[in-house]
Chain A
Amino acid sequence: MQTDRLDNGGRIDRTKTLNFTFNGRPYQGFEGDTLASALLANGVRLTARSFKYHRPRGIVGSGVEEPSTLVELLGDDASGNRPVTTVALREGLAAKSVNCWPSPELDVGAINQMFARFLPAGFYYKTFKWPNWHLYEPFIRKAAGLAAAPAEPPKEGHFENRYAHCDLLIAGAGPAGLMAALVAGRAGQRVMLVDEGSEPGGSLLSRNLMIDGKPAMEWVRSVSAELAGLSNVRHLQNATVWGYREHNFVMVNEREPEQPSILERNWRVRAGQVLCATGAIERTLVFGNNDRPGVMLASAVQTYVNRYAVRPGKRAVIFTNNNSAYAVAADMQASGIEIAAIVDSRENPPEVARASVPGVEVLSGQVITTTHGRRRVRAVTVAPAKGGTGRKITCDLVTVSGGWNPAVHLWSQSRGTLAYDQALSTFRPDKAAQSAASAGAADGHLVLAEALRSGAEAGANGGALPDIPASDDLDYAVDPLWQVEQASGKAFLDMQNDVSVDDVHLALREGYDNVEHVKRYTTGGMGIDQGKVGNINIIGTVAMQKGLPLDEVGTTTFRAPYTPVSFGAIGGIREGSVALPYRHTPVTAWNLANGAFMYESGARWRRPGYFPRAGEAFQDTVNRECRTVRNDVGVYDGSPLGTFELKGRDVGRFLDHLYTNVMSNLKVGRARYGLMLSDDGLVMDDGVALRLSQDRWIISTSTGHADAINGHMEEILQTEFPDWNVFITTVTSQWNNATICGPKAREVMQALGTDIDISTEALPFMAFAEGHVADIPARVVRVSFTGELSFEVNVAPRDLLRLWQRILEVGVPFGIAPIGSEANHVLRVEKGFLSLGHEVDGPIDPFDLGLGWAMSKKKADYLGKRSVALRRAGTSNRRELVGVIPEPDRMIPEGGPLTPGGEKKPTEGFVTACVYSTVHDRWVGLALLENGHSRHGETVHVRLNDGVIPARVTPPIHYDAGGERLRS
């Protein structure tokens, strides 16, 4: 039963009834309701329990400022910690309160209230500090409640991001924002008008005001219609400007832009100028038990009465220190709410204010000291502000207005400064730090005519001003009242975080006297509140206690997001495989069709690890693939290797600078292995350079480092040698290759058919030639990463699959098989070939790796030369690359530490890799070992948790030490 729904009025559609549940109970509301207005219409007043003390709480506000009731939405649209006032009602909505179990009426945590005096600010930090806070934190967080994160992604729809640019972004479509949009839009500016509400109008949606002699909402309608006709204006509703970053970069969260397909859209907008027309937020007043259900902000009561046709109470006491509550009182009276009294803390409330509610008793110079009742307010005690005996007034609604704070959150995020305005008793925007301005109530213009004018001025930006429409509004005047000093009972400053006046006093007593420290110690203004309702009262309380003016106390930092934003909206479509896509070669599909076990193998390349056959265990497959290469012939896809083409007269000397060895004297048609160091002597990469012609080269890099090497080369070229004639092109995806390797590789090449002379004499190891293979244009390179005779057949990507399939066809008589990266790893370890991720870390230099021959003595300078020399001049022992043979034969885990004698002593190295060698029918490994080069033949010890493995030290090459096979 919607017992508190008014018979007429409101911006709701009474023909559309919506069913919903709250804490398991069924209710009904109307299209246009929020969950808050529907609950109030149903007479529900107790809606929450507070964060720390589990005190009964109700609905306090009507918009994003709601400090009291947070709800968790259940079911398909599960989400947590939403202010109840921002949840649009829909059919089938299911919501529950946070912070209470099993319900707000029967809340087990409410026992905390009895211990409230033992739970002051900082209680947790003080009590749970031994042995450390993190031990207790999970339990306390759980007890503190708040909603659980949804366990599932939304059932339907997705999130997306969008970029936009505009000349003027206007945050807020209230009177000032609409006026600004109209003026700027008519002048042809690209305008984005963004408003958080379900419809434009801002405060006009809640107030009974006239513009140009007609109801204000008619003006809103006509302005909206004109804006909709302007192609240079983009108008978003249900969209919150939640972040204002450097360089006028603004983030907007648009909710349900396209139901049901797009749940939320996060806009990233670069704006020429930003106009903060964000309105103002009403302050609460601070008196005893000011958090009892039934104590509501005046602006909220006005909104419920006018916009939602809901009566939040039958008999109200209004408590104010300013004029705006009198207009609210008039609207309440008109809706049939009895006004028991207006309690005005000012000695002489202005006559113009009193005139709006003739006949209503105004108790001037008086304050509410406390409220009475249990789960909702039943009465208040009113006493003279200067002290004296109080009297009790019965009521079921207390409407409070402590004055207005411009919503300066966005302005502050942009680093704009604030100045305290004595007349308004609040902080106003002062100096802009970026191209930003404020208008309307956000700039302190709290009367409609001023708001319209300031909006028009901001929109015109110095240009011609249009006629400002005529409007009527009550003049605003306020006397600050930061707290009622004779309050009895807990007086809350920040309801969301359960911060009372006593907590702030305690923080000050304990030495936290900077307002930022008070915030951190009490948590006041934190969380989703971000200083909306209670902030100025906290500053005022600090100021009173310290005897300082408010501007000397200052404000805390307002941070993004202004209102909560879901992670989904921030992530957009970047979820699952889209978040970090794989790179593929043209044979990925073939690999998958042929049962390859695929995984990522550096730089997001998706490669085959191994090709299991029926009945094979992992090790069987790897062993078979290794034997295939060592005894017959295998083929693998080497396309992901980083490949760059360098052109220009100065490539030779450029490569001489990058690589440790001399490259410039390489003959055309030949290839050379090279090492790249960073200038501080770290091994960056290794690879092969080919000289295609006098001024044209190809270099390869390891797969994982390709992007970094690209940046490295470009940086050096552009910043150090801008006058050198070198052009670098990334051709990793322009050249793909199939590498045929094994003693029968040449026979496979012949079977494929090629016009290149592939004899050892014509095409020796480290040479290459261009021609055709299987009638496909190809460059054939004699390099080897397996230690066997190898032909790397490079072709255009469009030809790779054809080549690949042809190789496997003609290779059948030779026993060919595709080889995965697991076998490749075994084969390179047997050969002692370097893998940067395994054998190289910070302190390791080329000499340690046995690659001292690659460090040119001839060249006066190259990257890393000076630094390696400098490091080697030190006296500390070097860790050097060796082979290890575990004895007895067993596997050693990668990274296994070597300690002297296997004892509990500092390590002298570690095992970098250990593989099962089919050549030796045993496990072999590589290790970095202190002074390893001079310790061949010694036994070292791998110290593991479950025992010690002795291992014999050998040279770091377990197979074909002379290299006859790869040269064959």
Chain B
Amino acid sequence: MMNIPCPFCGPRNEAEFAFGGPVKPRRPDPNATSDDEWADYLTQVPNPLGPVEERWWHVKGCGTWLSIWRDTRTHDIVEGPGNAD
């Protein structure tokens, strides 16, 4: 069971969270994208062997939706790339 850092509650057991899936690219403007781009947005989900950014909902805690970078090989929570922005 992972120990997930919640920005409000600190590190908490995974059992208190609901998985929200990998973070997808930002929702494009549906009126300014092609059919293919829209279909890709809906269906293409990151699934790497290695670090992936994903969402967790602290549903049995404070209710925060947060994101972490998790290495899918080890469950280690790691620094994400491009945290500069």
Residues of A within 8 A of B (CB): 163, 245-249, 268, 270, 415, 433, 679-680, 711, 714-715, 718-720, 860-861, 865-867, 870, 873
Contacts and interface: CB of A to CB of B under 8 A. Distances in A.
B27 A720 contact: yes
B18 A711 contact: yes
21 contacts: A247-B1, A247-B3, A247-B75, A247-B77, A249-B1, A249-B3, A268-B1, A270-B3, A270-B13, A415-B74, A433-B74, A711-B18, A715-B57, A719-B55, A860-B31, A861-B29, A865-B30, A866-B30, A867-B42, A870-B39, A873-B35
Given A246-B1, A247-B75, A680 B31 contact: no
Contacts of A865: 30
A601 to B, nearest CB: 23
Contacts of B39: 870
B29 to A, nearest CB: 8
Nearest to B64: A718
Given A246-B74, A714-B63, 15 more contacts: A246-B1, A247-B75, A249-B3, A415-B74, A711-B57, A711-B59, A714-B65, A715-B55, A719-B65, A720-B27, A860-B31, A861-B31, A866-B31, A866-B38, A870-B39
Contact of A679 (B20, B31, B42, B55): B42
Contacts of A866: 30-31, 38
Interface of B: 1-3, 13, 18, 20, 27, 29-31, 35, 38-39, 42, 55, 57, 59, 63-65, 74-77
Contacts of A718: 64-65
Contact of A680 (B1, B42, B75): B42
Contacts of A270: 3, 13
A720 B55 CA distance: 13
Contacts of A249: 1-3
A714 B57 contact: yes
Nearest to B70: A246
Nearest to A711: B57
Given A415-B74, A711-B18, A245 B42 contact: no
Contacts of A268: 1
Contacts of B77: 247
Contacts of B38: 866-867, 870
A866 B42 CA distance: 11
A512 to B, nearest CB: 26
B30 A861 contact: yes
A876 to B, nearest CB: 16
Nearest to B73: A415
A484 to B, nearest CB: 41
A577 B32 CA distance: 52
Nearest to B1: A249
A204 B10 CA distance: 42
B24 to A, nearest CB: 10
Contacts of A715: 20, 55, 57, 65
Nearest to B21: A715
Contacts of A163: 13
A119 B29 CA distance: 66
B78 to A, nearest CB: 12
A248 B74 CA distance: 12
Contacts of B29: 861
A720 B67 CA distance: 13
Contacts of B63: 714
Nearest to A864: B30
Nearest to A870: B35
Nearest to A860: B31
Nearest to B76: A246
A402 to B, nearest CB: 34
Contacts of A867: 38, 42
A860 B29 CA distance: 10
B1 A245 contact: yes
A242 to B, nearest CB: 14
Nearest to A249: B1
Contacts of A246: 1-2, 74-76
B76 to A, nearest CB: 7
Contacts of A873: 35
Nearest to A415: B74
Contacts of B59: 711
B1 to A, nearest CB: 5
A283 B77 CA distance: 38
Contacts of B27: 679, 720
Contacts of A719: 55, 65
B72 to A, nearest CB: 11
B85 to A, nearest CB: 15
B46 to A, nearest CB: 15
Contacts of A714: 57, 63, 65
A873 B57 CA distance: 35
A304 B20 CA distance: 55
Contacts of B13: 163, 270
Nearest to B41: A679
A566 B76 CA distance: 29
B7 to A, nearest CB: 11
> Which residue, A246, A415, A870, has most C-beta atoms of chain B within 10 A?
A246
A247 B2 contact: yes
A718 B39 CA distance: 24
Point out which of A680, A711, A718, A866 has the most chain B C-beta atoms below 10 A from its C-beta.
A866
A938 to B, nearest CB: 34
A871 to B, nearest CB: 10
A221 to B, nearest CB: 36
A714 B65 CA distance: 7
Contacts of B57: 711, 714-715
B36 to A, nearest CB: 10
A478 to B, nearest CB: 34
B31 to A, nearest CB: 6
B26 to A, nearest CB: 8
Contacts of B2: 246-247, 249
Nearest to B30: A866
A377 B20 CA distance: 62
Question: Top 4 closest A-B pairs, CB basis?
Answer: A866-B30, A246-B75, A718-B65, A247-B3
B9 to A, nearest CB: 14
A718 B57 CA distance: 10
B61 to A, nearest CB: 12
